Amino acid sequence: MPDTLSVTDNRTGKTYELPITDGTVRAMDLRQIKTDADDFGLMAYDPAFTNTASCRSAITYIDGERGILEYRGYPIEQLAEQSTYLETAFLILYGHLPTQAELDAWTHNITYHTFVHENIKKFLEGFRYDAHPMGMLVGTIGALSTFYPDARHVLDEESRELQTWRLIAKVPTLAAFAYRHNRGMPFVYPDNDLSFAGNFLSMLWKMSESKYTPDPVLERAIQVLFILHADHEQNCSANAMRAVGSSRSDPYSATAAAAAALYGPLHGGANEEVLHMLMEIGHKERVPEFVKKFKGGEGRLMGFGHRVYKNYDPRAKIIKRTADEVFDLTGRNPLLDIALELERIALEDDYFIERKLYPNVDFYSGIIYQALGFPMEMFPVLFAIPRTSGWVAQWREMITDPEQKIARPRQIYTDGHKKDYVPIGRR
Ligand code: CMC
């Protein structure tokens, strides 16, 4: 059987053979389908890209029906259990697990770039005392482009490599500085003797002690959360990174755009929304009443549902296990009982079953973050730190892909034509 699709245009009676490659037809192959020579040709209409592959990618694989997530072919469960965040970031970026020498060099390069220019402190201080840390992060990531004008040489491989190190290394520092500003606390400089996660905790929480020593359980929990959030193929923020980067903007500007996309409550802002929802529910007994509301279209059950997963999000399963380890140390977050009851009732309810709505990564992550002592405004920031490696990997893949061009979708124009201008006094 040939790998082709036969399409008959009933307007003209003509039949076309469209090649099928990797389970897709090329949207541009539709363009030949015309009613006459003046016709522009057929386009594909796909608002929100629900059934459009925008690229070929070798980074992350998701089987949403079966709840599978792999980075470069390695199951997320194995990476969460056995890898470190920096090793996983290397894997995502370079396509293979590093040798010891590669890992040492990579760790050195990231550690070496954790400091930020002193002027960044000045403009962070310019933000209002109660500025949302994610807003500050978006702004300061974008501002990095002014410190590294060499970053605009996006076609230069060496420059891309340097910006990769800088971005992965500096985003945690910016994130921690934003947090300290928001709390009115002095900034803490990076401690390069600590691990990636340990250093981040030190920059957040170090007080008067001369050396901050992270609790190994908390350090590990943050690391697992970082691994789980490192990449997730063509999600809203990865798509923003690729789209903005496709105009050959520097990677700091593109990463700021990606972080801005992540900020939204339907993407990285969802875990903050989950906590607001759990607090509003307030008690296990009120769960059925709220589930009824969500089914009636009054709000959404935040942390449930996913564009790709039509099964339990594998990351949510791992987070649930990590939560138990954290709660052994910090004491149980009372919101967990409400969340467990919400999950139980929703998973038995026909509305959620029919629509294949399951807990996603955000359902339990906020509960752990809160138990770890993070205020809710930090939740999207905690997502952005590890996702930076994914964004950069997506950007690098896009820049070096000969099939990619500036991202520029088409539209269906819906208003009239050739209207005569009416002066304002006669409207
Ligand atoms: N609660 C109640 N109903 C829902 C929910 C929900 N959380 N999610 C989807 N639905 C319903 C929706 O109303 C629709 O019903 P109907 O067919 O009767 O109109 C159906 O399920 C399909 O929903 P959709 O909006 O077409 O699905 P989507 O693929 O466009 O949206 C989503 C995916 C994640 C935006 C959505 O499920 C949602 O808003 N979830 C809550 C927010 C959330 O948890 N976001 C985090 C996503 S995971 C982390 C990340 O990627 O950042």
Please report the DSSP string for 1-45 in residue order: --SEEEEEETTTTEEEEEE-BTTB--GGGGGG--SSTTS------
Distance 409 CA to ligand 1 centre (A): 24
Residue 340 lies in a domain: yes
Same domain, residue pair 14 and 128:
no
Residue 377 lies in a domain: yes
| pLDDT bucket at 159, cuts 50 / 70 / 90 | very high
Backbone angles phi, psi at 68, to 5 degrees: -110, 135
Ligand 1: list residues with CB < 6 Å.
235, 266-268, 270, 294, 300-307, 355, 357, 360-362
Q: Which of 51-60, 81-90, 322-331 bottoms out in mean pLDDT, i.e. has the lowest?
A: 322-331
| pLDDT bucket at 206, cuts 50 / 70 / 90 | very high
Q: What is the pLDDT of residues 108-138, one digit of tens each?
A: 999 999 999 999 999 899 999 999 999 999 9
| pLDDT bucket at 66, cuts 50 / 70 / 90 | very high
pTM for the model: 0.94
Residue 267 lies in a domain: yes
Element counts in the chain: helices (H) and strands (E): 17, 5
Q: What is the CATH number of the domain that holds 390?
A: 1.10.580.10
Residue 414 lies in a domain: no
Same domain, residue pair 7 and 87:
no
Mean pLDDT of the chain: 95
Same domain, residue pair 32 and 66:
no
Atom of ligand 1 nearest to the CA of 305: 37
- Reply yes or no on whether the pLDDT at 269 is more than 90: no
- Reply yes or no on whether the pLDDT at 332 is more than 90: no
Same domain, residue pair 304 and 373:
yes
| pLDDT bucket at 412, cuts 50 / 70 / 90 | very high
| pLDDT bucket at 144, cuts 50 / 70 / 90 | very high
Average pLDDT over residues 333-351: 92
Same domain, residue pair 34 and 84:
no
Residue 139 lies in a domain: yes
Average pLDDT over residues 293-312: 91
* Rounded Cα distance, 183 and 378, in Å: 11
Segments forming the whole domain that contains residue 5: 1-45
* Rounded Cα distance, 89 and 389, in Å: 6
Same domain, residue pair 154 and 25:
no
Contact 244, 404 (CB under 8 A): no
- Reply yes or no on whether the pLDDT at 2 is more than 90: no
Domain count, the chain: 2
Same domain, residue pair 96 and 219:
yes
Tell me which of 262, 304, 310, 379 to substitute to probe ligand 1's pocket, judged by most ligand atoms within 8 Å of the beta carbon.
Answer: 304
Contact 347, 393 (CB under 8 A): no
Residue 209 lies in a domain: yes
Same domain, residue pair 29 and 79:
no
Q: Determine the pLDDT at residue 394.
A: 98
Residue 51 lies in a domain: no
Active site residues: 267, 306, 362
Distance 123 CA to ligand 1 centre (A): 37
Q: What percent of the chain has pLDDT over 90?
A: 88
The helix (H) or strand (E) run that includes residue 366 is: helix 361-371
Q: Whose alpha carbon is nearest atom 8 of ligand 1?
A: 305
Residue 423 lies in a domain: no
Q: Determine the pLDDT at residue 53.
A: 97
Cβ neighbours for 190, distance < 8 A, ≥ 6 positions apart: 114, 115, 173, 199, 202, 203
Contact 259, 269 (CB under 8 A): no
Same domain, residue pair 35 and 87:
no
Same domain, residue pair 63 and 17:
no
Q: Which of 91-100, 114-123, 324-333, 372-381 bottoms out in mean pLDDT, i.e. has the lowest?
A: 324-333
- Reply yes or no on whether the pLDDT at 334 is more than 90: no
- Residue at token pair 């363009």: 31
Distance 304 CA to ligand 1 centre (A): 7
Q: Whose alpha carbon is nearest atom 48 of ligand 1?
A: 360
Q: Whose alpha carbon is nearest atom 26 of ligand 1?
A: 307
Q: What is the pLDDT of residues 220-259, one digit of tens each?
A: 999 999 999 999 999 999 999 999 999 999 999 999 999 9
Q: Determine the pLDDT at residue 17.
A: 98
| pLDDT bucket at 325, cuts 50 / 70 / 90 | confident
Q: Whose alpha carbon is nearest atom 34 of ligand 1?
A: 306
Same domain, residue pair 104 and 13:
no
Q: Which two tokens stand for residue 405?
A: 């061009």
Average pLDDT over residues 32-50: 97
Q: Determine the pLDDT at residue 351.
A: 95
Average pLDDT over residues 77-95: 98
* Rounded Cα distance, 106 and 164, in Å: 11
Tell me which of 50, 229, 307, 352 to substitute to probe ligand 1's pocket, judged by most ligand atoms within 8 Å of the beta carbon.
Answer: 307
Distance 233 CA to ligand 1 centre (A): 18
Same domain, residue pair 272 and 231:
yes
Q: Whose alpha carbon is nearest atom 52 of ligand 1?
A: 267
Distance 273 CA to ligand 1 centre (A): 13
